Amino acid sequence: MTPPLARRLRTVAAGCGSLALALAGLVAAAPAGSAAAPADSVAQYPNYAPTPPMGWNDWSYYQCNIDEDTILGNARALVDTGLAAKGYDTVTTDDCWMTHSRDSAGNLVSDPVKFPHGMDWVGSQLHAMGLKFGIYEDAGTATCGGYPGSLNHWQQDADLFAKWGVDYVKLDGCNVPTKAGETSEQSYHDTYAAWSQAMLNTGRPMVFSVSAPAYFQDGPDWNKVIGWSAQVGNLWREGADVALGQESAAAKWSSLKYNYGYNVGLADLQSPGRWNDPDFLLAGDSGLTRDEIQSQMSLWSVMAAPLISSTDLTHLSADALDVLGNRDVIAVDQDPKGLQGRIVQQGDGYDVLSKPLANGDRAVALFNKSDSAQTISTTAAAAGFGPGSSFLLKDLVTKHVTRTTGTIAADIPPHATVLYRVSAGGDHTAAPATVVTWHDAGTADHPGVYSVGVTDLGPTGLADTTVTLTAPEGWTVTPASVRLNRIAPGQTATAKVTLTAPKAKPGTTVNTITATARYVTGAAGTDSVSGPLTITTTVPYPALADAFNNVGTTLESNTAPGNLDGGGDSYSADALAALGATPGATVTANGATFTWPSAAPGTPDNVATGGQAIELTGQGSALAFLGTETGFTSGPVVVTYTDGTTSTGTLGFPNWCCSTTTDYGAQTALTMDHRNTQAGPANFGVSYRVFTNTVPLTAGKTVQSVTLPNQPAIHVFALAVTP
Ligand code: GLA
């Protein structure tokens, strides 16, 4: 998981500002001539957002590549897709809309190239479309992207925004200097409180989005900052920035899980009209699966989070539009009771959340965080209901309505969330709720014999149940279809099925086998339920070079991105060659002998680990790795021996440029004084290194294969068994 600070800094570097700027924000000295500190206590900012704000913001998708066509094109798409009518009504232009300096009167100036008609004109266009006008500024000396911040210009900027017809202000917290004699927290408080008062002074109702808490995360003053954020504003950013549009789907999913995990614990800090903001919705052209974007939408709604899309709405897929536009899910988010849902149950790879709704219903989310399908089960009592024996479950995505005597359960694919609206009592003609449960009767996660159970959770029985099984091409399921006896309320009927798999190719393959039960219920006629089973197979690659696909070294004459670090930087192949590390060469270091990857510089040379397994043979005391890291992490290595037993160890390396060279117990193998970048060789005053590290082997056993950590920041150049 990316630490929040690292993510924030990376965001700035990848966007339009400089790393130095962001760092300056954390350590800046007091500017000369600060205005008088505003009063410590500030009036409670009016409740301008009685339900969580909804709309669109350009940042995650476009960063600084914006202009008035981008903003207005997306605004029109909000209207044309019908999303605006469903509540997504605030269009916010994030960072980079300004010129780099204020005008002679000290006013902020719109970038004349990006916004030739001015931001006030953009606002008037938004208003003409029936939308609200949101804008970004920063509480410090400069925005995160390096444009003028509002420090000491509070009233002037608030007046300008009010004059422009702004309805929503996102006030970021980069580059807030600490005033002499104050703590950083006090200085942040002063500038945010001053803004709050300045906005009140304008007389124009403007929703106030406060970013301050995100700058105090994990620090001792974080609680104080969140406390006054609810006083000075309507919503506040916490967690990290969600991954940017150009990042990988895996990075996006991991950032969504991080922000979910952070935000879900903050329900105590929220009250109706004062909202925790875990950042943007990524439904859209994001590479995330339908289950993943639905999970975010459902979880954000149960957490009463702002629903602010950041994608290209002019090319919205049908799936993304469906997910964003689901009125039933939006209604959970916007419920007038205004409460953030809480975790009521947690288990292996899953969370259950419950949110009380104004009419006495509860929204119950079953979130499968894991990489395998599972049946998640809770009860109406755990979800917060009083005693009762009949509850209606409305699946807010499929709209399927069923009735349970008290168990609330669903069969959930990996990364998916089922969101029910649960009501006590209700329509007694609804079909009984049911689930399909898979049990492995043999070895876990392998093809073999499984038992498939169909459970009736409702008050009436199931008749004529047929279970049909489907599997990927090449698999067999015997039998392919099974008849089950009548299933009484509360009972489970099971069948045994045998699964066989085709010979898998080297690599990791995720297979889904689905059991669908069709049955006749009383008054409700026929109904069905489907339960997936995930079987993941990992077959070792014959050699390390077959396993990966990442460019890590480039010749200095080649300024195309080598991209070892995700930012376009790579090892200098020339500097490596000077140390003897050329394709296919032998590298001896710290008692181990390796073969340097034989791929030529600039071609995929197969180094980033992602849980791949590699065939390797030999006996010895340790397994040695030659490699490096572009993150700060470690992960498990699993060694499989020829007798079928395994042993594990932990592998991590120091960062290739910038950390203690003995991190994770590693040793330096090669040291270079520069790296290659898109502008050619660069020396940033640090050394670049390749390291060795080891994990122990079981004495006397012969190695058959090695599974590397599932950590793309870890790069393995070579591995060898040492005597
Ligand atoms: C910070 C914020 C982002 C975005 C950028 C703009 O990183 O958290 O949401 O506003 O600044 O530079």
Phi and psi, residue 601, nearest 5°: -55, 145
| Helix (H), strand (E), coil (C) string for 436-488 | EEEEECCCCCCCCEEEEEEEECCCCCEEEEEEEEECCCCCEEECCEEEECCEC
DSSP codes joined into one string, 399-410? --EEEESSEEEE
C-alpha 466: how far from chain center: 39
Peptide bond before residue 479 is cis, with ω within 30 degrees of 0: yes
- The pLDDT value recorded for residue 443 is 56
15 lines ligand 1 (CB under 6 A): yes
Averaged pLDDT of the chain: 91
pLDDT tens readout for residues 421-479:
999 997 778 999 999 999 986 655 578 899 999 999 999 999 999 999 999 999 999 99
Taking the alpha carbons at both ends of the chain, their separation in whole angstroms is 35
145 lines ligand 1 (CB under 6 A): yes
Identify any residues that bridge with 718 across adjacent strands, giving them in sequence order.
626
Tokens of 20: 């130095």
pLDDT tens readout for residues 159-209:
999 999 999 999 999 999 999 999 999 999 999 999 999 999 999 999 999
C-alpha 149 – ligand 1 centre gap (Å): 13
The ligand 1 atom at the shortest distance from the C-alpha of residue 136 is: 10
pLDDT tens readout for residues 44-97:
999 999 999 999 999 999 999 999 999 999 999 999 999 999 999 999 999 999
Q: What percent of the chain has pLDDT over 70?
A: 93
Rounded CA separation 415/368 (Å): 5
Tokens of 721: 């068994």
Rounded CA separation 455/492 (Å): 4
The ligand 1 atom at the shortest distance from the C-alpha of residue 279 is: 9
Tokens of 84: 């605006």
- The pLDDT value recorded for residue 113 is 98
Rounded CA separation 633/706 (Å): 19
Residues identified as active-site: 172, 241
7 lines ligand 1 (CB under 6 A): no
Mutate to test the pocket of ligand 1, among 237, 241, 244 (most ligand atoms within 8 A of CB): 241
C-alpha 130 – ligand 1 centre gap (Å): 26
C-alpha 174 – ligand 1 centre gap (Å): 8
C-alpha 229 – ligand 1 centre gap (Å): 17
- The pLDDT value recorded for residue 603 is 83
Mutate to test the pocket of ligand 1, among 172, 279, 281 (most ligand atoms within 8 A of CB): 172
Q: Whose CA is nearest to atom 6 of ligand 1?
A: 95
Q: Let me know: does 653 contact 557? Beta carbons within 8 Å.
A: no
| 0.95 surpassed by pTM | no
Q: Let me know: does 239 contact 262? Beta carbons within 8 Å.
A: yes
The ligand 1 atom at the shortest distance from the C-alpha of residue 237 is: 8
Among the listed residues 494, 548, 310, 331, the one whose alpha carbon sits nearest the alpha carbon of residue 421: 331
Lowest mean pLDDT among 70-84, 257-271, 517-531: 517-531
Tokens of 265: 């614990």
C-alpha 52 – ligand 1 centre gap (Å): 20
Residue 8 has pLDDT above 70, yes or no: no
94 lines ligand 1 (CB under 6 A): yes
Rounded CA separation 502/273 (Å): 56
pLDDT tens readout for residues 27-46:
222 222 233 334 456 789 99
